[in-house]
Amino acid sequence: MEAKVARSAQSYEREADDLRASGWTYRQIAVHWQQRYGFNPRVAFRLAHGLTQADVAQRWNEQWPDTDTPKTAKQVSYWEIWPGPAGRAPSLDTLNKLAFLYRCSAGDLLGGEDHSHLDTAATHSTEPHTDRSSLTNVTPLAVAAIPGSVLPQRGVGTSMIIGAIPHRVTEQIVENLEALTDTYRLIDYREGAGRVTTDVAAHLRRMLEASNRTTTSTTHRRLLHAAGDAAQLAGWLAIDAQRYQQAEGYCRLAVSLAERANNRGLHAYSLGVIGHIHLHAGDGKAALGVLNTAQELAARGSPAAVRSWLHEAAGEAYGVLRQPRPGLAALAQSERVFDAVNTNTSPVWLGFYNADCHAARLKGRCLTRLRQPQVASRALYEALTLLPPNFVRERSGTLIDLAVAYVQMGQFEQACDVASQADILARRTGSERNRKRLRKLLLELMPWTDVDCVQSLYRQVLLN
């Protein structure tokens, strides 16, 4: 894992060097990466300097030596996870020293909620270098261009009422429809499937109804692809609600649309989602059969992100089948292919996998299935460090995986602690999938039911 982190830090350092050569400050780079990658400010400033957590600890100890209690990478990780439940709040002295190392102000490292939109004088943004790839910047503008659209204000609600698609479907209309799908995807990450399931189904239906009204063959293929993306998203939403038959129906539709659009990557990915449905059902053999077909399809001309993701899923399938050797080989292949992932060429619908936080999260989950808990816990802690705080469902799932790793190591008190945090987040997003995983975890804790922390977790998960 350390080699992966070092590679990632160097990769960010190269990107930062390019931006610095264009005249960007470290502050501008950090703000840009917070928007683009969802980092919290302490992670963003560290990576803007191309540093690992160990590098920060080393520089701290060189600048302020303390032979009795030298700083460690683990302490840096605690500061970066905060304000998450597993983090530790940095003191003012700590923030001042980190600001010295990162060439910024202590206030830059705090982050927190932004309520500047309540200032009636703040009618125009003056932030430099706005990132058009950020969904939070682009999609509200793009969605507003769809006739009849009503956008929710942040924190008010998530329902989007979209009027009929115009009779002539142009490239601009399809682009706007794609942007709306991205908006639904982001809301799902933040607030859960229940917030957008109905809207996504209606959105998909409108695109299918308009598929014979495109102005050119190129626009027609793009609309088919956009509908396929919405269909696979609907499949994931159904998986989260444990409606697996419905999820497979949506994914079969996505496969058909991807074939008609001649999009091999989306075709392979949609098959991979079907493989995940089998994984959720605990059928490793069926999952592996579908994933092998998807890998064969993806081997010819699909983005590296798709191929890497499919190898990781295969590793999980081998874990379900209790075959650790091919599972670890599949995971190693996933990491090799991930080195070739390029954010500029990866599809938007697999954009989450471009980020190191999700690669680490999936690696940790795969390793728990392969019963490699110590290595898994390191990957999962790294994922918790990097995951944006507002990706609530992913944080909940990562905490559940970490609890599983603790159970495998026989550390039941730690397992109960992180499982309790995961349950709170799972309830916030209404994720039936994660609630079911927590109930399954309780079965693993049955040997310790006479212990107070286990009894408390049972009451929290089952009775509240």
- Tens of pLDDT, residue by residue over 124-136, are 333 333 332 322 2
pLDDT value, residue 60: 92
Q: What is the pLDDT of residue 143?
A: 33
User: Given a cut of 80, is residue 165 above it in pLDDT?
Assistant: no
C-alpha separations of 291 from 368, 411, 429 in Å: 19, 34, 29
d(CA 272, CA 291): 6
User: Which is more confidently placed, 394 or 161?
Assistant: 394
pLDDT of residue 296: 94
Question: Does residue 449 register a pLDDT over 80?
Answer: yes
Q: Is the model's pLDDT at 352 over the cut of 80?
A: no
Where is average pLDDT lowest: 77-86, 263-272, 293-302, 320-329?
A: 77-86
Question: What pLDDT is attached to residue 2?
Answer: 33
Structural contact between residues 266 and 232, judged by C-beta atoms closer than 8 angstroms: yes
434: Cα within 13 Å, side-chain hemisphere: 27
Residues ≥6 apart with Cβ < 8 Å to 64: 97
Angstrom distance (rounded) from CA 12 to CA 4:
12
Mean pLDDT of 198-204: 91
What is the dihedral sign for C-alpha 442, 444, 445, 447?
positive
Q: Model confidence over 63-91: pLDDT tens digits?
A: 888 888 899 988 898 898 887 777 888 88
pLDDT of 113 above 60: no
Distance CA 84, CA 396 (A): 11
The dihedral built from the CA positions of residue 383, 362, 377 and 442, taken in this order, carries a sign that is positive
Q: How many CB atoms lie within 10 A of CB 252?
A: 15
Question: What whole-number percentage of the chain has pLDDT above 70?
Answer: 85
Rounded average pLDDT over 391-411: 90
Domain boundaries, the chain: 2-111, 130-260
Dig out the tokens for 137 from the structure: 């910047």
Per-residue pLDDT tens over the stretch 214-226: 989 999 999 999 9
Quick one: pLDDT at residue 4? Answer: 35
Determine how many CB atoms are found less than 10 A away from the CB of residue 351. 17
Q: What is the predicted pLDDT for the residue at 157? A: 38
Question: pLDDT tens-digit profile of 256-271?
Answer: 999 999 999 999 999 9
Q: Which of 90-99, 118-127, 232-241, 433-442 has the largest mean confidence?
A: 232-241
Q: Compute the distance between CA of residue 1 and CA of residue 345 in angstroms, rounded to an integer.
A: 25
pLDDT at 110: 81
Q: Per-residue pLDDT for 148 more than 60? A: no
91/234: higher pLDDT: 234
If DSSP codes are grouped into helix, strand and coil, which group holds residue 434? helix
Of 209, 205, 283, 196, nearest to 244 (Cα)?
Answer: 283
User: How far is 349 from 178, CA to CA, in rounded Å?
Assistant: 10
Cα→Cα distances 336→7, 339, 340, Å:
12, 6, 8
What is each CA distance from 294 to 19, 30, 267, 290, 308, in whole angstroms?
A: 37, 37, 8, 6, 12
Q: Is the pLDDT of residue 281 over 80?
A: yes
- How confident is the model at residue 218, as a pLDDT? 94
pLDDT at 140 over 80: no
Residue 159's pLDDT band (cuts 50, 70, 90): very low
Q: What is the 8-class DSSP label of residue 395?
A: H
**N- to C-terminal Cα separation, the chain:** 37
State what percent of residues in the chain have pLDDT above 90.
36
* Whole-Å CA distances, 461 to 281, 320, 393, 397, 398: 21, 25, 16, 15, 17
Tell me how far apart the alpha carbons of residues 290 and 3 are, in angstroms, rounded to a whole number: 31
Confidence of residue 8 (pLDDT cuts 50, 70, 90): low
Q: Is 161 helix (H, G, I), strand (E, B) or coil?
A: strand
Diameter over CA atoms, the chain? 73
CB-CB contact of 289 with 328 (8 Å): no
Q: Across all residues in the chain, what is the average pLDDT? A: 81
Please report the pLDDT score of residue 186 as a whole number: 83
Chain centroid to CA 457: 26
